[in-house]
Homo-oligomer: A and B are copies of this chain.
């Protein structure tokens, strides 16, 4: 978790070096997802995938404020959460490819990645699972007195589900150090969130007295600042915090998506607020970083992904004798 050391600073202020890292990580996620998509079409990635494209600022902003020992629970849309936290993209891609060198040796696949070394307790294919798991991790942090927090990522649609309600209540009752990050991308799969959700999502944690904030989820600096505050609140022992990051998914919900549900022009509007565009702008304007330097990052990441794919496709598949062996533990 080397990349997270800069966030040990109490605030969210960041130097040019750190800002560039944020941008690089967002670009890494975007290029990773584009690559997964291509490789899926080529038949090298199996089953299904849910891409994070468009939502990068949310995961990167939040994870950049975490400390060693903090825990993260991501979702089936979890490549972004994983990379934001520092999971090796090679291991992640190898997992998509179903290789023995994958983060979970090819057993997990896109939706269920675990990387305990990075604090990623899991990506949760079952909607809501991340919320319950992070609440439990926060219980452990509290009872063990580690001073750590746990973060649950989940989507807007997940706010209508059992885990959400029960876990938020319990976390607040026990004043657990957990941050609930609701990535509101306006849709639950193909359904506009307002069609299936009564009231504003944020009013639910507020009704429980949970510290709640909404933030522009496409602005990585805004997310950082809000996440920093939320994490600080949780870490201080004041109980859980709830952060709603308003964002938008640029690609289909999963590999098969009719896409007919988007309102006319909506995608284009949001693309103007692409977290990478906003990120570039901020880096240029606030840190005086020249566009060429950012292009270099982009090229660099593109090259990295190319190499990742090459290595990944050359990696061995797991041995069926391992995967099928008696479940001993």
Residues of A within 8 A of B (CB): 160-162, 164-166, 168-170, 172-173, 195-200, 203-204, 206-210
Q: Can you list 8 contacts pairing A with B, beta carbon distance less than 8 Å?
A: A160-B169, A162-B165, A165-B165, A165-B166, A168-B198, A169-B197, A172-B199, A203-B207
Residues of B within 8 A of A173 (CB): 195-198
**Shortest CB distance A238–B (Å):** 13
Copies of this polypeptide in the complex: 2
Residues of B within 8 A of A166 (CB): 160-162, 165
Residues of B within 8 A of A170 (CB): 160
Residues of B within 8 A of A210 (CB): 198
7 cross-chain pairs, A with B, having the tightest CB-CB distances, nearest first: A165-B165, A162-B162, A172-B198, A198-B208, A203-B207, A207-B207, A199-B208
Residues of B within 8 A of A161 (CB): 166
Cβ B209 vs Cβ A199 within 8 A = yes
Q: What is the CA–CA distance of A123 and B200 in the complex, to the nearest angstrom?
A: 33
Residues of B within 8 A of A206 (CB): 207
**Shortest CB distance A177–B (Å):** 15
Residues of B within 8 A of A162 (CB): 162, 165-166
**Shortest CB distance A111–B (Å):** 23
Closest B-chain residue to A172, C-beta based? B198
Q: What is the CA–CA distance of A207 and B197 in the complex, to the nearest angstrom?
A: 11
